[in-house]
Amino acid sequence: MQRKNADDYPQELLDLFHEYQHGDIDRRSFLSSAAKFAVGGLTVAAIFESLSPNYAWSQTVPKDDKDLKTGYETVQSPSGNGSIKGYLARPAKGKKFSSVLVIHENRGLNPYIEDVARRLAKAGYMAFAPDGLTSVGGYPGDDEKGAAAFRTVDGKKMTEDFVASALWLKTRKDSSGKLGAVGFCFGGGMVNQLAVRLGKDLNAGVAFYGRQAGAADVPKISAPLMLHYASNDKGVNAGIETYEAALKANNKKYEQFMYEGKQHGFHNDTTPRYDAEAAKLAWERTLGFFKKHLK
């Protein structure tokens, strides 16, 4: 399939697909609403396929990269769903590493998120990407099925699974004790929640287009935060003003960036919402932020 970008689609169509991906409308409703965009021989099915993830595009670091050690680990989570499985990537050489928890979108541990973990490992970190779908069988290999499964998981227990994963990663023998977290969409919101829950146990948090923590919880945050937002993301952006006011009022350290004209999901290189320039800049900022606070 030929790669397209967001500029190839009307914003209304992108917004419709965003609603579908976040469970606000079902597939049938999306297809029905998208029918008016099927012109010039283009079918609704073709539109849907072109907007859906293509994981062949996501592998920037090969799974068998000789400089890395990768594999799957299971973390015990007695306050959550009992246990959670995840993907661990770290440099092949070295004894202790600063660590980063990588938190997926609302579809589970897909190939894009595993690649993000490897990107961090190539930068010298030990990265662990838990699968929030572990309790319902794990990421099913399909984003549509993953999104449906995600909606069946107990949200409070899943949060406890991510807390357990973070503390497990921080206290491993090969960890330097410095812990960061980066997340996307749902994962971005979870980074904000972990900043509240973990307090001083989190040393840096980076949230990509994630929902904000409640203003009343901001005093509990200790970690410096980096917040990436896309201007064409009305739902998430509605919470920026209140969150920023609370961060400022409580003298919290944070950096905030708005990527003008970009879509929610602009870092995810498997869909047309991906924007290469914005993704590159945001990732460079993220690595610089982690280097400052974790190395």
Residue 226 lies in a domain: yes
Amino acid occupying residue 60: T
Same domain, 185 and 253: yes
Residue 229 lies in a domain: yes
Same domain, 153 and 259: yes
User: Which residues on neighbouring strands pair with residue 270, listed in sequence order?
Assistant: none
Same domain, 13 and 43: yes
Averaged in consecutive runs of 10 residues, what is the pLDDT profile of the chain (295 residues)?
A: 79 91 88 88 87 83 96 98 98 97 97 97 98 97 92 97 98 98 98 98 98 98 98 96 98 98 95 94 98 97
Specify the pLDDT at position 1.
54
Same domain, 90 and 148: yes
Specify the pLDDT at position 2.
62
User: Which residues on neighbouring strands pair with residue 74, listed in sequence order?
Assistant: 85
Q: What CA–CA distances, in Å, run from 160 to 76, 154, 198, 201? A: 10, 10, 11, 15
Same domain, 116 and 11: no
Domain of 100: which CATH number?
3.40.50.1820
Domains: count for the chain: 2
Q: Could you tell me the residue range of the domain that residue 198 belongs to?
A: 60-294
Nearest to 123 by CA among 100, 106, 149: 100
Residue 225 lies in a domain: yes
Residue 1 lies in a domain: no
Same domain, 114 and 25: no
Specify the pLDDT at position 277.
96
Same domain, 113 and 25: no
Same domain, 70 and 145: yes
Specify the pLDDT at position 59.
83
Specify the pLDDT at position 7.
87
Specify the pLDDT at position 52.
87
Same domain, 221 and 266: yes
The end-to-end CA distance of the chain, in Å, is: 40
